[in-house]
Amino acid sequence: FGWNENDVHWCQLEFREGLINAIVHGTLRVKKAGDTEADEKRFAEDLKKARSSEEAKQTKVHVSVDVSPTAIQVDIQDHGGKRTRELVEEFLTRDPTAEGNRLKTSGRGGLLMKAAFGENGVRYYPNDLGTKLVLRKEKTGSNTEAPQT
């Protein structure tokens, strides 16, 4: 469809970010509590336990991708239970460049997704299954630079 390499790269990168978030935080329901070495270790242990649970083996993440000559849209639906709009908004509005966040090892996904897909190209829809993430990118020119954050 003639998409430029830069747009394809950033869409792929942020698709992976959204998918990993849906699996880890949505479907497996593992939450990171802090940024100390002990928090990182606890997060890794919690993730390992969650991945081997019977519940994890039964849950799914559904993905659909639509690529056309004018737009790319990726829908990612987790099955993590009902989420609140406030939690989603916190994720999307978190500023990883703020003084207390600069050295944190996580929390940059929302900013990067918005940079790659645009302010209006990242949407979350809480529902009975969990949360549906919709990433939509309209085709741009031949820009070869990284998105601005």
CA quadruple 101, 102, 107, 109: dihedral sign: positive
Give the mean pLDDT per block of 10 residues along the chain (149 residues): 85 91 83 77 89 83 93 91 63 78 78 85 87 90 52
pTM for the complete prediction?
0.80
- As a whole number of angstroms, the longest Cα–Cα distance in the chain is 47
Helix (H/G/I), strand (E/B), else coil: 56: helix
Sole residue written with tokens 């509590």: 33
Contact 6, 143 (CB under 8 A): yes
Question: What pLDDT was estimated at residue 15?
Answer: 92
Contact 139, 69 (CB under 8 A): yes
What tokens does 45 get?
């242990």
